[in-house]
Chain A
Amino acid sequence: MSGKTESLTGPILLMRGIGKQFPGVVALDGVDFRLLPGEVHALMGENGAGKSTLIKVLTGVYEIDAGTIELSGQQVAFSSPLAAQQAGISTVYQEVNLCTNLSVAENIFIGREPRRRGRIDWKRMRARASELLAGLGIDLDVSTPLSSHSLAVQQMVAIARAVDIEARVLILDEPTSSLDAGEVEQLFDVMRALKAQGIAILFVSHFLDQIYEIADRMTILRNGRLVGEYLTRELPQVELVAKMIGQVLADLEKLHGEARAFDEPLVQAQALGRAGAVEPFTLTIHEGEVVGLAGLLGSGRTEAARLLFGADHATGGQVVYGGEPAALRSPRAAMQRKIAFLSEDRKRDGLVPELTVRENIILALQATRGWTRPVPREQQDKLVAKYIAALKISPAHPEIPVRNLSGGNQQKVLLARWLILEPRLLILDEPTRGIDVGAKAEIQRLVVELSDGGVAVLFISAELEEVLRLSHKVGVLRDRRLVAVLPNDDELTTEALMETIARGGAR
């Protein structure tokens, strides 16, 4: 008897003491999580906090190493995403995983088409699809191909499909990251309708304003551990950011004294922007100056940096380099002006894994010379040996494939690639993420050395302490907008930065 009343009022999903390890990494450590029917529950945390691992554990992509999962009071263990789906846990990912070449109706019923005498009953399929979408407040011709609709509508179709498979738990993993404001509202209306039907929604988003608009409750993770569960209305944004990032109150030595005056502007971004990536921003970087960029993941940090390197095309504004407008049409064009860019995603945008350490280090230098003018082998060996020693790359062997190195050493290889070009502006996008403390300190020290030598550095990091220690001034991004540029004086603290990130606008 009590079991029945419990299932009506208690959580539909209860995860207790969840642990998950990968070789060398504890991804989740004793995490508790619960979902109540008819609520929107936000899962919050910085990159690497364990959000996606928790979702993958819940949906049967990974098996858990410790803990229990209960669905409606019954202990479950999903062996595959399909098993989770059949038990009523449906997931809609950021990238819609539907077949865009099929019609809307086909997408909703793919794999479970209504049949009549062995043949697909198209009429009934279309009628049911229209009905389902109407229930979500969407009116469209379900026989049109999915690709003819906006991403927002595609997402609604994915949701309609998920809901129709009798979902009790709906997981929306960053559904809004590629939607515009109107589409987000449309999505939220659907979420509210589902909520009213008693479906529990787990919502992941990097946009704080959206969390505060739609979520009833939130669970915060940090470094694979549970920070806590809070009612949204009781947790101010500043506290949320503090809990996500983790406050380290101990005062670390500031490697750079204070904001100083610089005379020579090296690079100026003037109303530089790219539609859908980062709104127009204006930022001046002087010779020898370290400019920090702070902001949550997805706030436009990387996108801004890529514009300054010519990795993406700007849709507005211009870059002024050394007093003259510079058209950065490609990374090559930026490199010719001695701009270097250490990308955030080593694997995807940096390393050529099967090439050796030496080949990876000289790649950019060789690229600037073209294939007809090889860097003499002697010079290669000398340069590579110099940087292996200077950056303490280990193993100190230039001829092994770079994929055999640890993350920190791979990062140093990429740093070496750019340092041999003797850049005047070095853009470092999360250079210390995922590497051990020793390597981190070495990279920080290197930034200071470079700056003392007159190199301008744009330093992007999610770790505010690091940004504060190194930067002369800090630009704060929020929701793809540069909301403030703050001089790094005595008054600038991590708390003040967090507040700017949370609230937007200057102190």
Chain B
Amino acid sequence: MRRLLWPLVILALLLLVNVVFTPNFLSIQMRDGHLYGSLIDILRFGAPLMLVSLGMTLVIATGGIDLSVGSVVAISGALACLQISQDAGVAWAVALALGLSVLLGAWNGFLVATVGIQPIIATLILMVAGRGLAQLITDGQIITIVNPAYKLIGGGYLLAVPFGILLVLAVLAVTAFLVRRLALGLLIEAVGGNAEASRLAGVRSKGIIIVVYAFAALCAGLAGLMISSNVSSADGNNAGLWIELDAILAVVIGGTSLLGGRFSLGGTILGALIIQTLTTTIYSIGVPPETTLLFKALVVTVVCLIQSPAFRAKVLGRRRRPPAPGPVPGEKVRVSA
């Protein structure tokens, strides 16, 4: 897959930098029957972002965007922890939190598809109101819980592997099934690629859009459970703060256009891993804390430039043939065999 090439190169480069600073960075060991190592940490701590990004990918592929996922993360975690703190069963708490997430996502989809509000505004509503809702649920406090079963979701292990990683794999498999085995992917790409043509071809785009926003919220809800489970507490204020921006970034780095249309789940996973690895790298190479955000921004800028075919063509093309004022490079029609 050609479109995954550059994200892979970038991820490899980041890992290489880490290996230079931390020679045993790539080693994975068994400790107390659990897999252990920096790579496992990246996967484990990156799991919520990967989940949120998967949902975001489908939303962006329809030409939309979902700013509310961070708030859904907070709401979901808050509701689950509240239930557990009131001695409800873990299964019930999880089901309730995920159910509410789906409902909130469907609300976003309703605003976008049926009411016709621009996605960025429609989801901004829940982004702001959702934080309030999360604080309402936690009563403005941080709810702490002690529950081994709930701890499994974000902090536990199954067959030596962190449970969160397995959860991501499961969601990835289900998503891939929905979009590539069933026809959801084709219809999403059609709606995102040309909405009017899709309507005239009989695509029920309203239904598709509602499903996609509901799915994005479900992913966010699951991520919320993971985050709150990992720290055994729910913080309505800070849980999932800014995760929507990282998720959008992951989708874009993964090669899905913000204009909608073609999307790549594999690319998104790579994008999320790049962002998580970058965070790890910042700590491991000892970037001073006051400059981490700036450093991250610089790296992201470089990553985005490397990802841009136009930029690559300009930089590489100029070096190869200096004076030729020929056709625009990169516009060549590529017919794969």
Contacts and interface: CB of A to CB of B under 8 A. Distances in A.
Contact of A372 (B182, B335, B336): B182
Nearest to A311: B200
Interface in B321-337: 333, 335-336
B187 interface: yes
B114 to A, nearest CB: 14
Nearest to B190: A352
Contact of B197 (A335, A351, A373): A351
Contacts of B318: none
Contact of B204 (A352, A370, A395, A404): A370
Contacts of B196: 348-349
Interface in B169-219: 181-184, 186-187, 189-190, 193-194, 196-204, 207-208, 211
B44 interface: no
B262 interface: yes
A367 B201 contact: yes
Contact of B333 (A330, A355, A370, A404): A404
B302 to A, nearest CB: 27
A459 interface: no
B200 A352 contact: no
Given A363-B190, A366-B187, A349 B198 contact: no
Contacts of A351: 194, 197
Nearest to A348: B196
Interface in A270-306: none
A205 B335 CA distance: 42
A363 B192 CA distance: 13
B239 to A, nearest CB: 32
A331 B200 contact: yes
A22 interface: no
A447 B99 CA distance: 52
Contacts of A148: none
Contacts of B207: 370
Contacts of B109: none
Given A354-B261, A374-B182, A332 B197 contact: no
A367 B182 contact: no
Nearest to B191: A352
Nearest to B196: A349
B197 A366 contact: no
A384 to B, nearest CB: 13
B197 A367 contact: no
B205 to A, nearest CB: 9
B200 A363 contact: no
A371 B187 contact: yes
Q: Classify the interface of chain B: helix, strand, loop or mixed.
A: helix
A21 interface: no
Contacts of B262: 354-355
Contacts of A363: 186, 190, 198, 201, 203
Contact of B194 (A331, A341, A352, A371): A352
A43 to B, nearest CB: 30
A154 to B, nearest CB: 24
Nearest to B203: A367
Nearest to A372: B182
A367 B194 contact: no
Given A332-B204, A355-B190, A400-B336, A367 B184 contact: no
Given A363-B186, A373-B183, A349 B197 contact: yes
Contacts of B208: 371
Contacts of A368: 202
A371 B201 contact: no
Nearest to B261: A354
Interface string A338-362: 0001010000111111110001001
A332 B183 contact: no
Contact of B202 (A335, A343, A372, A400): A335
Contact of A369 (B183, B198, B200): B183
A419 interface: no
Given A359-B186, A371-B208, A374-B181, A353 B193 contact: yes
Nearest to A397: B335
A418 to B, nearest CB: 9
A17 B202 CA distance: 48
B204 A366 contact: no
A314 interface: no
Given A350-B197, A354-B193, A354-B261, A331 B183 contact: no
Nearest to A364: B201
B199 A331 contact: yes
Residue of A341, A363, A397, A417 most packed against chain B (CB within 10 A): A363
A235 B261 CA distance: 51
Residue of B182, B193, B197 most packed against chain A (CB within 10 A): B197
A259 interface: no
Contacts of B261: 352, 354-355
A351 B186 CA distance: 13
A371 B181 CA distance: 10
Interface in B140-181: 181
Nearest to B195: A352
Contacts of A350: 197, 200
A352 B335 contact: no
Nearest to A369: B183
A355 B201 CA distance: 14
A366 B198 CA distance: 11
A373 B198 CA distance: 17
Contacts of B181: 374
Given A348-B197, A349-B196, A374-B183, A367 B202 contact: yes
A309 B202 CA distance: 11
Nearest to A359: B186
Given A375-B183, A400-B336, A352 B202 contact: no
A374 B335 CA distance: 27
B182 A343 contact: no
Given A355-B261, A367-B203, A417-B201, 12 more contacts: A348-B194, A351-B194, A353-B193, A354-B262, A363-B190, A363-B201, A364-B201, A367-B204, A370-B207, A371-B183, A372-B183, A400-B335
30 contacts: A309-B200, A331-B201, A332-B202, A332-B204, A335-B202, A348-B196, A349-B197, A350-B197, A351-B194, A351-B197, A352-B190, A352-B193, A352-B261, A353-B194, A354-B189, A354-B261, A355-B262, A359-B186, A359-B190, A367-B201, A367-B204, A370-B183, A370-B204, A371-B182, A371-B183, A374-B182, A397-B335, A399-B336, A404-B333, A404-B335
8 nearest A-B pairs in the assembled complex, by CB-CB distance: A352-B193, A367-B202, A374-B183, A367-B203, A371-B184, A364-B201, A352-B194, A335-B202
Interface of B: 181-184, 186-187, 189-190, 193-194, 196-204, 207-208, 211, 261-262, 333, 335-336
